Amino acid sequence: MASHSLGLTLYDAARRMGVSFSQENEPVDKSVQIDGMNFHYLEWGDPSNPSILMLHGNSQQSHSWDFVSLALSEQFHLIVLDQRGHGDSDWAGDGDYSIEAQQKDIDGFVQAVALDGFTLMGHSMGGRNSYVWASRHPGALKALVIVDTGPQTQRAGSNRIQQFKELPDELDSFDDFVQRVQEYTGRSQEQVLGALKYSIRQRTDGKWTWKYDKVMRTPGARPPGWTSEQLWDCVGKIDCPTLVLRGDRSDIFADETMQRMEQVIPDCTTVTISNAGHLVQGDNPAEFLVEVGKFLGRVH
């Protein structure tokens, strides 16, 4: 039996992490074409329930939300997108992973799946894409959830992530990747095995590599991002109830930045999740879900 088949099931992993759920729901894999690109997404729960669109962070994919999706799908209709260049969505043929390109993707996706009056939830890159989109679409959202990101980023965390992304990305075995991710996250082998299968792929030559575009792992290959002033301007235009969460051990998103966001956004709740780094919803999904549940209960 291959070692990567020995990971915990989602349900067992969720229970070990303290996630409360009563139904062993599963997502449906779907795809949609937007401007000639194929976008993969997961759909969880009853479509008649209130909808939440979820956006992952850079180098992640839709399954990074599985703990949260499993629990929330009992009351909500979840649509979890693989953003361009990630997971099972197409890579950009021109290498364009700019904020503008990703905003156009969200525009096209929202229209294609007929979302209206929904909640938008995003982590890291997905959180930035979420609040930028919210700033451009007043009145469109029921609510907004921003996870461990803001207009300003701490250099220590950015450097740590970039150094990890620049490590050799073609390894001889699945187990080599398991060891690397364990060292980076501090999670158990069983936890890593259950999630890593969605983030790497085996090439025809037998080697294993990440499932997101190499352009995003190459220094200088990506277009420059927006300035913090441009992003603060976006935050100031958010007009819906907003929850901002950070991990207490995050080296990406400073508490000072979160507190300023609370002052800038008219209806904003901020929460620091204990025992969590930048990957908040994976590090402490139980506490994350408690806080998100309280917020969604207020706005829905």
Altogether, the residues listed in the chain come to a count of 300
**Comparing 169 with 260, which gets the higher pLDDT?**
260
Segment 156-203, tens digit of pLDDT: 777 777 787 777 788 999 989 988 888 888 777 777 777 788 999 999
Q: Report pLDDT for 221.
A: 57
Residue 206 lies in a domain: no
- In the chain, % of residues over pLDDT 90: 77
Burial 138-154 (b: 16+ CB within 10 A, else e): eebbbbbbbbbbbbebb
Q: What does the pLDDT average to over 25-30?
A: 98
In the predicted model, what is the mean pLDDT of the chain? 92
pLDDT for residue 222 is more than 90: no
Residue 220: inside a domain, yes or no?
no
Q: Residue 3: what pLDDT?
A: 37
Q: Which domain holds residue 132?
A: 13-154+226-299
- Strand, coil or helix: 39: strand
When pLDDT is averaged across residues 23-43 and rounded to a whole number, the result is: 97
Is 109 domain-assigned? yes
Domain-located, residue 30 = yes
Number of domains in the chain: 1
| Backbone torsions φ then ψ of 248, nearest 5 degrees | -65, -20
The rounded percent of the chain whose pLDDT value lies above 70 is 96
> Is residue 62 scored above 90 in pLDDT?
yes
Tell me the per-residue pLDDT of 97-151, one tens digit each, with 9 for 90 and over.
999 999 999 999 999 999 999 999 999 999 999 999 999 999 999 999 999 999 9
Is 285 within 8 Å of 14 (Cβ atoms)?
A: yes
Threshold 0.85, pTM exceeds = yes
pLDDT, residue 131, reads: 98
Minimal CA–CA distance to 66: which of 279, 212, 291? Answer: 279
| CB 54, CB 129: distance < 8 Å | no
Query: 9-35 burial, b for 16+ CB within 10 Å, e for fewer?
Result: ebeebbeebebebeeebebeeeebebe
Residue with tokens 């959830």: 145
Domain assignment present for residue 191? The answer is no
pLDDT of residue 220: 62
Determine the average pLDDT of the residues in 197-225.
Answer: 83
Average pLDDT on 203-207 reads 92
- HSE-CB at 23 with a 13 A cutoff on CA atoms is 14
What CATH code is carried by the domain that includes residue 92? 3.40.50.1820
- Does the residue 184 lie in any domain? no
Q: Would 7 be classed as within a structural domain? A: no
Asked whether residue 22 carries a pLDDT value surpassing 70, the answer given is yes
Instruction: With beta carbons less than 8 A apart as the criterion, state whether 272 and 246 touch.
Output: yes
Q: Is residue 209 part of a domain?
A: no
Q: Among 1-15, 66-80, 100-114, 191-205, which is the least confidently predicted range? A: 1-15
Pair of tokens at residue 248: 């207490």
Strands (E), the chain: 28-34, 37-44, 51-55, 77-81, 118-123, 141-147, 170-171, 200-202, 208-210, 242-247, 268-273
